[in-house]
Amino acid sequence: MRVCVIGTGYVGLVTGVCLAHSGHDVICIDNNEEKVKLMKSGQSPIFEPGLSEIMQSCIQNGNIQFSADLAAGVTHGEILFIAVGTPPLPNGESDTRYVEAVARGIGANLNGGYKVIVNKSTVPIGSGDWVRMIVLDGIAERQKSAEEKLPEIANQFDVVSNPEFLREGSAVYDTFNPDRIVLGGNSQQAIGMMKELYAPIVERKLAADQSLPPVPVLVTDLSSAEMIKYAANAFLATKISFINEVANICDRVGADVTQVAKGIGLDSRIGNKFLQAGIGWGGSCFPKDVSALIHTADDYGYEAQLLKSAVSVNERQRLIALEKLQQALKILKGKTVGLLGLTFKPDTDDLRDAPALNLIEQLNRLGAKVKAYDPIISQTGMRHGLSGVLVETDAERLADGCDALVLVTEWQQFNTLDYVKMAQLMNHPVMIDGRNFLNPEAMAKAGFQYVGVGRTAKN
């Protein structure tokens, strides 16, 4: 099928590349010419395992193009994805101006032939109908300014909501191995075309395990599909805040949250995922989506108390490492603290809403010197505009002269560092494990005073 994806941020680029890889003829549109140039040369503007490789093979096979020309994209696609950002406004609401501009641009360029317009951006509930209205506005503006009468195109499109659930760091894997595909809309024709588009993925043609039964496709109305995205993210964020709260209680009573998580996770009603206690959730989705859902509820006169608590537990949790540093070192003024990891999670270069940023700010405020080593940021640090932290090139340089280390991001390679050497290089070998990632016994053996989150149990 001919597909146009507008916006080559995280969601747009991964969607475009993966659809091209599943055999469709895709054009990705972005108004940033520099980025278009980069992508045309086969380079991905984001760090995502496996993405550049697939991108390059699709370019070679000729089933993906990159362009800044929206009109060309709209002409090409029978399915038009809107995948531009909806960043949070200071009050927690989503900023939908980019979606609006794209919808207007689609309207201004629709040119006959039935099209499906797909909302892939995480948009406020009710946006499906709003996008339809904006597209119609775009068409009307063009009709008004056209010298000759244009053909009737107002009824030749439908809007579908198709939320994405991919995780950074495993976005390609998640796209080819989804738990479900959600399609919201009331046009049979549009839903039919979307099912055809996703057929290779539904039939697991590119899945890691092709013998699994087909991926469930859930068809709903527009608003329910939009709500599913928010509810899924809010649920997961709340699940993490829940286990973090349990971890804080474990710390006080002397229990081990990793064992507790195992014990409750074996209950199939609870499930074992997203029960990893630590220094809280961050990234581009959870904080934004939970705030937006609270805001929507507010707009309708409902106070989302549980979600507000999930946010406040998370805000407090982000400073748990600071509390533990103060317990171990007492005064932080004049001390040097080293952070292992900076990104909000491993296998990404994303620092958006990363707990490390709060920690750096607070440590600076208390007069501590902050250093960091991150497998990705240490290579690309300059472009992130980090301040208040000295980014080191390796873990041993980081440890040198530190009074404590804080493991902020659970990068796999932190499993194999030479901790004996690192402990020797430090002033005080204190290890605050903000992700409960390291083995406490091994750390003690390496010479560290080990402090996890909710792991005070004595075996």
Q: Using CB under 6 A as the criterion, which residues of the chain lie in contact with ligand UDX when the complex forms? A: 164-168, 233, 236, 240, 274-276, 278, 281-283, 285-286, 344-345
Smallest gap from residue 126 Cβ to ligand UDX (A): 20
Q: Decide: 403 and 382 in contact? Cβ < 8 Å.
A: no
As a whole number of angstroms, the distance between CA 216 and CA 180 comes to 5
**Who contacts 422 (Cβ-Cβ below 8 Å, separation ≥6)?**
395, 396, 398, 399, 405, 429, 446
**Who contacts 206 (Cβ-Cβ below 8 Å, separation ≥6)?**
18, 21, 22, 176, 200
Nearer to ligand UDX, 24 or 120 (CB): 120
Smallest gap from residue 240 Cβ to ligand UDX (A): 4
Smallest gap from residue 127 Cβ to ligand UDX (A): 17
As a whole number of angstroms, the distance between CA 157 and CA 111 comes to 11
Phi-psi region of 283 (alpha: psi -120 to 50; beta: other; left: phi over 0): left
**Who contacts 51 (Cβ-Cβ below 8 Å, separation ≥6)?**
13, 14, 17, 44, 171, 172
Nearer to ligand UDX, 243 or 332 (CB): 243
Smallest gap from residue 236 Cβ to ligand UDX (A): 6
Q: Decide: 156 and 115 in contact? Cβ < 8 Å.
A: yes
Q: Decide: 451 and 436 in contact? Cβ < 8 Å.
A: no
Q: Largest Cα–Cα distance of the chain, in whole Å?
A: 83
Dihedral over alpha carbons 43, 47, 51, 52 (to 10 degrees): 20
- Three-state secondary-structure class, residue 323: helix
* Residue 4 designated active-site: no
Smallest gap from residue 78 Cβ to ligand UDX (A): 26
Smallest gap from residue 133 Cβ to ligand UDX (A): 27
Smallest gap from residue 249 Cβ to ligand UDX (A): 17
Smallest gap from residue 414 Cβ to ligand UDX (A): 14
Residue 236's closest CA among 158, 150, 310? 310
Residue 279's closest CA among 457, 458, 451, 459? 451
Q: Which of 4, 58, 250, 285 is catalytic?
A: 285
As a whole number of angstroms, the distance between CA 408 and CA 389 comes to 14
Q: Supply φ then ψ for residue 27, to 5 degrees.
A: -120, 130
Q: Supply φ then ψ for residue 358, to 5 degrees.
A: -65, -40
Total residues belonging to the chain: 459
Nearer to ligand UDX, 271 or 401 (CB): 271
Return the number of other C-beta atoms located less than 10 Å from residue 454's C-beta: 27
As a whole number of angstroms, the distance between CA 388 and CA 58 comes to 41
Nearer to ligand UDX, 72 or 255 (CB): 255
Question: Tokens 């990234």 — which residue?
Answer: 283
The DSSP secondary-structure symbol of 300 reads T
Q: Decide: 436 and 453 in contact? Cβ < 8 Å.
A: yes
Catalytic residues: 285
